[in-house]
């Protein structure tokens, strides 16, 4: 837990978010500035800065499991979607509490920017 971390605050219920999935170790909520018709963030409830610091394979599995459950729930599993882990500066990470972006509902471009 980190006092001034925005996603820790969301995990603690101190900042409102539109939660779409909840489990003991992780949760998912809609991105404030969606880049696609479906744009959901999956986070661990405990503070982990980035993908580099994930210590537990079980936590990683929980996050990935929730990402694909969210895709199914949002109706984009069959049409297709993208799971993105922006990591550190070159990866474009701006919030340093681990999160997977689940994006879909439109054709994604490749290569990414
Ligand atoms: P990053 O750039 O770190 O990969 O992604 C951070 C994401 O968090 C961005 O897509 C941004 O829109 C989202 N975000 C930042 N602050 C908040 C917030 O307070 N609530 C929600 N729901 N999303 C946020
Ligand atoms: Zn945090």
Q: Where are the domains of the chain?
A: 6-104
- Indicate if the pLDDT at residue 91 is higher than 70: yes
State residue 1's pLDDT score.
60
Atom index in ligand 1 nearest the CA of residue 6 equals: 19
Residue 95 in contact with ligand 1 by CB distance below 6 A: yes
Catalytic residue check, 99: yes
Q: Which residues of 7-45 are buried (b: 16+ CB within 10 A; e: fewer)?
A: bbbbbeeeeebeebbeeeebbbbebeeeebebbbbbbbb
Rounded to two decimals, the pTM is: 0.98
Report yes or no: 103 and 82 within 8 Å, Cβ to Cβ. yes
- What would be the CATH architecture of the domain defined by 6-104? 2-Layer Sandwich (3.30)
Share the mean pLDDT of the chain: 97
Atom of ligand 1 nearest to the CA of 95: 3
Q: Is residue 46 lining ligand 1, measured as CB closer than 6 Å?
A: no
Closest CA to 50 of 94, 112, 106: 94
């Amino acid at each position: 837990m980190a006092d001034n971390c925005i996603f820790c605050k969301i995990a603690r219920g101190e900042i409102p978010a539109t939660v779409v999935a909840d489990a003991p170790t992780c949760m998912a909520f809609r991105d404030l500035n969606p880049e696609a018709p479906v744009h959901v963030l999956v986070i661990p409830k405990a503070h982990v800065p980035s993908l580099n610091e994930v210590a537990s394979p079980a936590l990683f599995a929980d996050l990935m499991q929730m990402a694909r459950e969210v895709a199914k729930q949002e109706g984009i599993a069959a049409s297709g979607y993208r799971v993105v882990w922006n990591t550190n500066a070159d990866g474009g990470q701006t919030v340093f509490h681990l999160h997977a972006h689940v994006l879909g509902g439109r054709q994604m471009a490749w290569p990414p920017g």
